[in-house]
Amino acid sequence: MTISTHMAPLAAREQDMRNRALVRGWLNIVLVVLVALIMVGGATRMTGSGLSITEWKPIHGVIPPLNAEQWQEEFQKYQQIPQYQKLNSDMTLDEFKVIFWWEWSHRLLARGVGFLVAIPMAFFWLTGRLERNLKPKLIGILALGALQGAIGWWMVASGLAERVSVSQYRLATHLTMACIILIAVTAVTRGLAVYSQEAAARGIQRFAGAMVILILIQIYIGALVAGLHAGLTYNTWPLMDGAIIPGDLFVMEPAWRNLFENPKTVQFVHRMFAYTVVAVALWHAVAASVAAPGTTHARRAWVLFGLLVVQAGIGVATLLSQAPIDVSLTHQFVAVVALIFATAHWRGARGAYPLPNEVETRS
């Protein structure tokens, strides 16, 4: 028994590469729109607009109010929820329209992403441009998008009955799922890329994968901070409440609730985990430079470290300025960029997917 690798004819290989370039271009567009969706979602939350539409109408909700009567009907629905009654009881119809358009735009973008994935995927599939191994990955991404829509409504529903804002648990779940979709799209896109260097050693691959997980966890904690409005308190750095480790971090019972419901504890954890992520990124960059000096893998590790240092600096600026919307959105945007870059770095360390016509046979 011998093992031999038979390369496909040159024409078939070139066709595979052209198909990959087309699919990669499409997925890059999806990635840009996903980032826009996350940013509009962030602005929707920061402007207090997320509860302005009190019903989930996946189909009919595409059409906004078209006349004064319909606008008044939407406004009356909003007036029935606690956010209006306790916080915005003096709101005018024109002010309501502002928050309505933010939430409507967010939902419209979300619907648009679904079509942006489904329609081109069907085209590439039916015209034979999708590799067999890509099909389950893309179906999985589409399914995650549908699940994310349901999570979005589940989040909104938490603020319609008793609360004046959505549950921080559900907000964090919603943002984390969005980031998981970003990771999936980025990984597939970069798996279709052409690389000039061979895959990195397994150690670098695992370390790069760990960075993706750490950044995702930090984004989750950041969403808890946002949901609890924890960034509006203890606006000093590097000390917090006058100390490196402040008191009263575990005043709730049971103790685990403090990690999710105590604004002081959640902000402290977000700070400490940020230091951890930056430190681990530095360790990864040094280790990659020692293991694979002068390679793209090592250079990307250093770029990732630099991105995270910048992000930490923006985080401090957000805290010290008491989270104005422009600085907060910048903080969110750079977090998303860092996550995408970390994922691209991890996928690049693993190398591209094997071409469908490059198969190993045993004879």
Read off the pLDDT band of 336 (50, 70, 90): very high
Specify the pLDDT at position 294. Answer: 93
Is residue 197 scored above 90 in pLDDT?
no
What mean pLDDT is predicted for residues 220-245?
96
Instruction: Give 337-361 pLDDT, tens digit per residue.
Output: 999 999 999 999 999 999 886 644 3
Q: What percent of the chain has pLDDT over 70?
A: 96
Specify the pLDDT at position 14. Answer: 85
What mean pLDDT is predicted for residues 66-86?
95
What mean pLDDT is predicted for residues 91-97?
95
What mean pLDDT is predicted for residues 64-82?
95
SS (H, E, C) the chain: CCEEEECCCHHHHHHHHHHHHHHHHHHHHHHHHHHHHHHHHHHHHHCCCCCCCCCCCCCHHHCCCCCHHHHHHHHHHHCCCHHHHHHCCCCCHHHHHHHHHHHHHHHHHHHHHHHHHHHHHHHHHHCCCCCCCHHHHHHHHHHHHHHHHHHHHHHHHCCCCCCCCCCHHHHHHHHHHHHHHHHHHHHHHHHCCCCCCCCCCHHHHHHHHHHHHHHHHHHHHHHHHHHHCHHHCCCCCCCECCECCCCCCCCCCCHHHHHHHCHHHHHHHHHHHHHHHHHHHHHHHHHHHHHCCCCHHHHHHHHHHHHHHHHHHHHHHHHHCCCCHHHHHHHHHHHHHHHHHHHHHHHHHHCCCCCCCCEEEEC
Read off the pLDDT band of 121 (50, 70, 90): very high
Instruction: Give 147-185 pLDDT, tens digit per residue.
Output: 999 999 999 999 998 899 999 999 999 999 999 999 999
Would you say the C-alpha torsion 161, 162, 166, 168 has a positive or negative sign? negative
Of the ranges 10-14, 84-88, 176-180, the best mean pLDDT one: 176-180
Is residue 104 scored above 80 in pLDDT?
yes
Specify the pLDDT at position 274. Answer: 98
Specify the pLDDT at position 358. Answer: 65
What mean pLDDT is predicted for residues 51-78?
91
Instruction: Give 233-288 pLDDT, tens digit per residue.
Output: 999 999 999 999 999 999 999 999 999 999 999 999 999 999 999 999 999 999 99
Specify the pLDDT at position 16. Answer: 85
Specify the pLDDT at position 9. Answer: 64
Is residue 35 scored above 90 in pLDDT?
yes
Residue type at 201 in one-letter notation: A
Specify the pLDDT at position 5. Answer: 43
